[in-house]
């Protein structure tokens, strides 16, 4: 099975499971519909797949990771809903569809985001009990709250907002990316290590891979914002430039950005191959190339 088939199959299963979770929620309708709209939005599902890939490479059953994978995806979705709000990025479209607050109203957008974040923790406990020991569940909840909060994603998002219109140095840009995007890409890999009983050296290799992948993901995002295609991205090109955001191309130039992207991807692949055999690692290697070559 190649990566494309693998993602397609996983996403089908993940979205089926998600829709089962959403069936349990009905009232108020605007919130349950809004939550589903925000999550079932045709996203690439990189984060949940990273968790499933981690279980695969550790030789463990993927199904054990479903609730955690979905909880993390809900947190990712809430962060997009709140990022798009008028007081933050003020975006009307995401992946070619109206953003959640444009579709359901601004007050509702705030509450739909709050609701997704809160419900993620319900899923992480309630739905994980079938598969995981209490100690593992607590470890996952603690790590999720840590990586998604002030020390993680929200920290990065805050500095990102405060840096708009300012010249920032590479150190600040790295802080923003490693927190705003990086922490929530590391989280599923680390949760996969908890669920799948990774050894310490497996954990170290996988964590490093996830960090490099996060960095590559962000460099590629910055490149696409300059060279991408509106039709494929589903959002306007040049929005970073218009918002006077510092990016890799704006700080180190486009040529260096592409070099750095290639090197980061090669490093990520090497890291995995030190610890795992090539045939077992195949999908993770393909994912790294996919991050580099994606056009959306």
First-residue to last-residue Cα distance in the chain: 23
Minimal distance in Å, beta carbon 54 to a second copy? 21
Of residues 31 and 265, the one with the C-beta less far from a second copy: 31
3-state secondary structure 138-159: HHHHHHHHHHHCCCCHHHHHHH
Of residues 133 and 262, the one with the C-beta less far from a second copy: 133
Minimal distance in Å, beta carbon 176 to a second copy? 10
Minimal distance in Å, beta carbon 103 to a second copy? 14
d(CA 204, CA 182): 16
d(CA 272, CA 228): 29
d(CA 186, CA 111): 27
CA angle 268, 269, 275 (to 5 degrees): 100
Q: CB count, 10 Å around CB of 296?
A: 12
Query: Using an 8 Å Cβ cutoff, are 76 and 47 in contact?
Result: yes
Binding interface with a second copy (CB under 8 A): 25, 27-28, 30-32, 35, 78, 82, 85, 87-88, 106-111, 113-115, 117-122, 124-126, 129, 133-135, 137-138, 141-142, 144-146, 148-151, 154-155, 157-159, 161-162
Of residues 90 and 262, the one with the C-beta less far from a second copy: 90
Minimal distance in Å, beta carbon 130 to a second copy? 12
Of residues 173 and 223, the one with the C-beta less far from a second copy: 173
Minimal distance in Å, beta carbon 289 to a second copy? 33
Of residues 99 and 264, the one with the C-beta less far from a second copy: 99
């Amino acid at each position: 099975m190649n990566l494309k088939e693998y993602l397609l199959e996983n996403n089908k299963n993940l979205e089926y499971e998600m829709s089962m979770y959403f069936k349990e929620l009905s009232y108020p309708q605007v919130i349950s519909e809004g939550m589903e709209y925000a999550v079932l939005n045709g996203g690439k599902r990189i984060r949940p797949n990273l968790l499933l890939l981690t279980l695969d490479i550790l030789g463990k059953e993927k199904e054990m990771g479903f609730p955690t994978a979905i909880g993390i995806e809900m947190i990712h979705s809430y962060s997009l809903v709140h990022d798009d709000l008028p007081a933050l990025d003020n975006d009307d479209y995401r992946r070619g569809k109206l953003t959640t607050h444009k579709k359901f109203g601004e007050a509702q957008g705030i509450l739909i985001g709050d609701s997704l974040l809160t419900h993620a923790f319900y899923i992480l406990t309630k739905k994980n009990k079938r598969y995981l020991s209490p100690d593992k569940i607590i470890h996952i909840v603690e790590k999720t709250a840590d990586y998604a909060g002030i020390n993680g994603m929200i920290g990065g998002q805050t500095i990102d907002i405060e840096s708009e219109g300012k010249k920032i140095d590479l150190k600040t840009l790295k802080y923003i990316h490693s927190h705003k995007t990086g922490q929530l890409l590391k989280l599923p890999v680390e949760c996969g290590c908890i669920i799948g009983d990774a050894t310490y050296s497996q954990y170290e290799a996988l964590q490093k891979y996830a960090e490099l992948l996060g960095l590559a993901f962000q460099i590629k995002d910055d490149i696409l914002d300059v060279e991408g295609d509106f039709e494929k991205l589903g959002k306007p090109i040049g929005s970073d430039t218009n918002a006077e955001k510092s990016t890799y191309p704006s700080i180190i130039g486009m040529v260096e950005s592409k070099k750095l992207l290639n090197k980061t991807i090669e490093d990520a692949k090497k890291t995995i191959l030190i610890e795992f055999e090539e045939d077992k690692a195949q999908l993770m290697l393909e994912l790294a190339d996919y991050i580099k070559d994606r056009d959306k």
